[in-house]
Chains A and B, each alone.
Chain A
Amino acid sequence: MTELAIEATGLTKSFAETRALDGVDLAARRGSVLAVLGPNGAGKTTAVRILATLLRADAGSARVNGFDVRKQPDKVRESIGLTGQFASVDEDLTGTQNLVMIGQLLDLPRRAARQRADELLAWFDLTQAAHKVAKNYSGGMRRRLDLAASLVGRPQVIFLDEPTTGLDPAKREDMWDVVRSLVSDGSTVLLTTQYLEEADALADEITVMDHGRVIAHDTPHGLKRVVGGQRLTVRPADPARHDDLLDVLRGIGGEHPEDDGRGTVTVRVAGDEVLPDVVARLRAAGIAVDEFSLHLPSLDEVFFTLTGTRSRDDNQEALV
């Protein structure tokens, strides 16, 4: 058995005129989380579909759980769980019916399928809705049922295609907890996302994709170092204090101030250790704020940094 649960090299796939994947390499160690980060149209979903045997690559090879996706698709299918944008549940069936159906398709005896369904519904806090038709589920419940459906067979490798897109922040955190507990049980997770924050919260390694290519592969820490730590966004209560605010932010080492034109200023900072200092200085300068937040760079900023600094030597290590 190989050490890698997911291993793809040189995946290429074209649809009509568009090249969805152009030589993509992916690798995830057993028991780890690999986040594939990229905007819409980057090729994330296509890559997942190939790994899950739903699509055939034009070129390249891939192994999932040690099995070749092209030559041993059924072995791969026995190893994986798939959830997200495309693989979902039957809207006309209840939660229980959906999960029992999948259990029976996985050759569980009726009673065992039933038991597994109840277990998963309880875990995902859907017991109350077990006998409701999935059509009437809320967005968050629907996602949880989708995820439950992909876990019926206790898969060793789990693909989550944008599992939290469209979920509110609280639901997103719940989903993250689920992913963490899956990994602690020994599963390998490949998740695609448009949020660096999500990748940072969950992933052991991050592969960044754009236009069907891998443009970076690193640990969250390494990637953040490349894209420049975190962002501090501040909006003064009094727009007239804008320039004073800029002085304060420069004073704590905030780089590349960006102004959104409505008085909100964003600077790059090394990390959260600057926060007490900023607060103290703002108070000393008597600047009241309406907004004050520390966050990771947005996907746009990550891309700008990665694609705009390709030639700089100190970033080469982050580029594949």
Chain B
Amino acid sequence: MTDLLLNAVASGILLGGFYAAVTVGIAISFGMLDIGNLAHPAFIILGSFTAYILNSNFGIDPILAGVLVIPGFLLLGWLIYETYYWSFERRGEEGLRGLAFFFGLLFITEVALILIFGVDYRFVEAPYIGPSLHLGEVDLPLRMLVPAAVSVVLVAILQLFLSRTFLGRAILAVPQDSGALRLMSVNPTHIKRIAFSISIATAALAGSCLIIIQPVEPSIGRDYIGRVFAICVLGGMGSFPGMFTAAILIGIAENITATFYGPSWSPAVAFGFLLLTLGFRPTGIMGR
């Protein structure tokens, strides 16, 4: 019983670590830029499929594949932000029509993937998928350990970028004081565009991590909508350390639920967390 629990917690921590990679993009686009990008999970699935193509056709390691497609995803983020800005932010109607826009993108991406790849599960092959690390009673599957490690590195790099570089600090300044930015002759829109592109680029890497952990088919992005927003909100919106903690908490909670009550209950865990948090303790997100 205890080693079942120990293993559930251990892989929950790893799962949570991976969830941080999935959420960091939202922490930037929603937590910092206040853009309700509901389509983020779809881009992660897109990242999974690009990793799948590169892996199954050219034998490229999935993580490497994720890194290779980052420029493409940066461009994608750039284009999406441009459309978003010209259609909504400029007119001051970003709130709800923007949401409908991203929801539409989520849907289009999912359906496009179904049309191209069908509904079958796809998976990648790599030497670390399969073996596990044994630490006493606890088994740490490498296919979860590697993504968790990648996630830590990714978030750490981003954190350094945001706190140490001029560009990064400009991004942090956007929600706080766009006026001051302008005075420093930095265009806030340009900064937001870069930040948003970065957030989409993280999806490339997160996607390759995902397909390492589990086989992927187009519609599983939906399960992640609740997760990423739950983690982002629980983690205090823009804070990376908060987000990481929240991610691990949810990872553990989901895993324990799956282990003791069955995997068919796990989609509800994150969403349930979200509803409870929003309903009873939504610090900092009250009212219009």
Does chain A bind chain B? no
B positions within 8 Å CB-CB of A: none
A positions within 8 Å CB-CB of B: none
